[in-house]
Chains A and B, each alone.
Chain A
Amino acid sequence: MIDIGLFSEIFQSLNKNKLRTLLSGFTVAFAIMLFTILFGIANGFQNTFNNEFAGDANNSIFIFSGRTSKAVKGYQTGRRIQFDNPLYSTIKKEFSDDIEFITGRVYKNVTASFGNEKSSYSVRAVNPDHQFIEKSEIKEGRFINPLDIKNYTKNIVIGNLVVEDLFGGIDPIGKYLDLNKIKFKIIGVFVERTEGSDSNEARVIYMPISTAQKIYGNNDYIDQINLTYNTNLSEEEAVAFGNKIVDKIKDEFSVAENDQSAVRARNRARENQEITQFNGVLAILVLIIGMGTLVAGVVGISNIMIFIVKERTKEIGIRKALGAPPSSIKLIIVLESVFVTAISGYFGLVLGGLALNSFDLKDYWITDPGVSTSLVIGATLTLILAGLIAAYVPANRAASIKPIVALRDE
């Protein structure tokens, strides 16, 4: 049934009525353009969120300590909670199934000097796993390794901006850097992988945690415990996992269960959940608005198709008198509708895409707005469906036209 003849019929009909075709296409093109722009903006929001947190692994949990705010078991409030090596080992052992990487962190501010250059930096003393929790990339040399921890080596890994600040073109690997009058050997240089993350991250100096504990306090204190959870965990499970660790630590230190300030965790899973929820709401909104405009477009096309059928009543009558079965009349109307809808819809899609690309909306929290291939495919199917729906009423009306009535139509 579908052959060149049928298509040439449709082209002929569309071509003879350019203005009509244009007008009916316009509504759909406009609807799809709006939809594309809205969708792109929603995508842009999502991208912004993703970038905002891109500095850390997206399955990270950071655990901090503070002072207690609730009296419990005879302890006063305001007691300082101090993490230490035994706690670290306990957590590492107890939750080994769900932990991917784990590290302790000890902070220290130092004045670093190399030759005549001198500046102050913050030292992060960490375990080897840290490299995978913070997305920092080794540019030269290596990161802290287990041997450094075991042997309390005075090895450090510095950020590329430290190199820029102090070394002025000299290769820093193997050189000694003076930190508060103690010499450390530079074994590696790292760069912050993520764009737009603040430059402080690239001015950090990494040191084996054991070394820092020994030199700066001769204790086993840890300021912060960072870990990434096993990626098998769902977001909900991960949130629960984070809470479990916090509860465990509270238990170790005899902190009241509802004490919010003694032990706190920043769990990416929870943030992800919030972002996912926000994006979900946004997506639903966009979908509702988009569907609304699309429905308006479909109604518009349907209306115009009904008008077209009315206008072509006589022609349809002639065709019927010549032996056109109702199905063939329907097919003409349906194909014309689908064709106009699909083409103009695509036009709208392209226009919307161009509009998204031609504005820089970074200042408005919209990063790289755009539409995906899957959306384009989905939109195509939707458009064909929309064309079919738009044609339903007019096609049936056309098919039910009696030739005798149609021929009398002047």
Chain B
Amino acid sequence: MGDSSLHVLKGINLYVEKGEMVAIMGSSGSGKSTLLNIIGILDELDSGEYTLDGIEIKDLTEKKAAQYRNKFLGFVFQSFNLINFKNALENVALPLYYQGLKRKERQEKAMFHLQKVGLADWSTHLPNELSGGQKQRVAIARALAAEPKLLLADEPTGALDSATSQEIMQFLQQLNDEGKTILIVTHEEDISLMCKRIVRLKDGVIMEDKKIKQNRLV
């Protein structure tokens, strides 16, 4: 990242099992976003090794990287990153479009996932007609639509009030219960406590990596 070479991560050894729900904690500048970007194949690693679902991620062409992102990864962002001129359904259907699915199939699948996040009635609404919590739920539906192996969430509750944050986290826990592997980058202590494992980063190294008793939301 950036034009000049800068050592942000200085020796990270992290192994995440299938079905885990991991919080990556750290203050800004700790390297947590860089780590997430590398895991998300949004950024390339300069040295080291990264294996995703048994496949080594290294020197990928743009096309291959796009394919892997589409197939293996679902992203949830702090600022939702919905496409503002597409309605909820179209946003959710977008990764399916890049999978090459037929229009009808895309719409059916997208509708199924919208239903799952409880927004079936809002399918034709544009993002600016939705509340923050609703937007994030559409984003989650979109991340799930391609049925990825790993869900990556970058400060998913960063732009939400605490009640809505709870609601989103509850939903993520529920997904994890269904077997989805989830990685959440956050700097909020209470959010990290809702995961099953906390990895603390500081200045590019792992300070602490511990399993915790999950704070369940009901």
Which residues of A does B touch, CB under 8 Å? Answer: 3-5, 12-13, 16, 314-315, 317-328, 399, 402-405, 407, 410
How many chain B residues touch A (CB < 8 A): the figure is 29
The answer to whether A12 and B85 touch (CB under 8 A), given A323-B70, A325-B63, A407-B77, is yes
| Beta-carbon nearest neighbor of A327 in chain B | B63
B130-177 interface (Cβ within 8 A of A): 142, 146
A322 to B97, CA, bound (A): 10
The reply on B67 being an interface residue by CB < 8 A is yes
A320 to B62, CA, bound (A): 9
Chain A hits for B97, CB < 8 A: 5
The answer to whether A314 and B43 touch (CB under 8 A), given A322-B98, A323-B95, A325-B63, is no
B37 & A322 in contact (Cβ 8 Å cutoff): no
B99 & A323 in contact (Cβ 8 Å cutoff): yes
The reply on B32 being an interface residue by CB < 8 A is no
A319 & B94 in contact (Cβ 8 Å cutoff): yes
Which residues of B does A touch, CB under 8 Å? Answer: 1, 37, 40, 42-43, 62-63, 66-67, 69-71, 75, 77, 79, 81-83, 85-86, 94-95, 97-99, 103, 106, 142, 146
The answer to whether A314 and B81 touch (CB under 8 A), given A321-B75, A324-B98, is yes
B66 & A404 in contact (Cβ 8 Å cutoff): no
Q: How far is the CB of A378 from chain B (nearest CB, A)?
A: 36
A407 & B70 in contact (Cβ 8 Å cutoff): no
B42 & A322 in contact (Cβ 8 Å cutoff): no
The answer to whether A407 and B98 touch (CB under 8 A), given A12-B86, A16-B85, A318-B83, is no
| Beta-carbon nearest neighbor of B83 in chain A | A315
B37 & A404 in contact (Cβ 8 Å cutoff): yes
B81 & A407 in contact (Cβ 8 Å cutoff): yes
Q: List 7 A-B contacts (CB under 8 A).
A: A317-B81, A321-B42, A321-B81, A323-B99, A325-B66, A402-B43, A404-B1
Name, among A16, A317, A320, A405, the residue most crowded by chain B CB atoms within 10 Å (CB to CB): A320
A410 to B75, CA, bound (A): 18
A328 to B69, CA, bound (A): 15
B40 & A328 in contact (Cβ 8 Å cutoff): no
A407 & B86 in contact (Cβ 8 Å cutoff): no
The 5 A-B residue pairs whose C-beta atoms are closest, nearest first, are: A323-B70, A16-B85, A323-B98, A404-B42, A322-B95
The answer to whether A322 and B103 touch (CB under 8 A), given A315-B83, A327-B63, A407-B42, is no
Chain A hits for B43, CB < 8 A: 402, 404
Q: How far is the CB of A384 from chain B (nearest CB, A)?
A: 25
A325 & B62 in contact (Cβ 8 Å cutoff): yes
Chain B hits for A325, CB < 8 A: 62-63, 66-67, 98
Name, among A4, A5, A319, A323, the residue most crowded by chain B CB atoms within 10 Å (CB to CB): A323
Interface contacts beyond A324-B66, A407-B77: sample of 6 additional A-B pairs, CB < 8 Å, sorted by A: A318-B83, A322-B75, A326-B66, A327-B63, A404-B43, A407-B81
Q: How far is the CB of B145 from chain A (nearest CB, A)?
A: 9
B81 & A323 in contact (Cβ 8 Å cutoff): no
B67 & A326 in contact (Cβ 8 Å cutoff): no
Q: How far is the CB of A7 from chain B (nearest CB, A)?
A: 11
A16 to B63, CA, bound (A): 28
Chain B hits for A407, CB < 8 A: 42, 77, 81
A5 & B95 in contact (Cβ 8 Å cutoff): no
B95 & A13 in contact (Cβ 8 Å cutoff): no
Name, among B63, B98, B142, the residue most crowded by chain A CB atoms within 10 Å (CB to CB): B98
Chain B hits for A318, CB < 8 A: 81-83
| Beta-carbon nearest neighbor of B75 in chain A | A321
A5 to B97, CA, bound (A): 8
Q: How far is the CB of A395 from chain B (nearest CB, A)?
A: 14
Task: Point out the residue from A4, A16, A326, A404 that lies within 8 Å of B103, measured CB to CB.
Answer: A4
Task: Point out the residue from B66, B79, B86 that lies within 8 Å of A320, measured CB to CB.
Answer: B66
Q: How far is the CB of A283 from chain B (nearest CB, A)?
A: 45
Q: How far is the CB of B36 from chain A (nearest CB, A)?
A: 10
Name, among B1, B79, B94, the residue most crowded by chain A CB atoms within 10 Å (CB to CB): B94
A407 to B43, CA, bound (A): 12
| Beta-carbon nearest neighbor of A321 in chain B | B75
B69 & A321 in contact (Cβ 8 Å cutoff): yes
A326 & B62 in contact (Cβ 8 Å cutoff): yes
Q: How far is the CB of B115 from chain A (nearest CB, A)?
A: 20
The answer to whether A322 and B86 touch (CB under 8 A), given A404-B42, A407-B81, is no
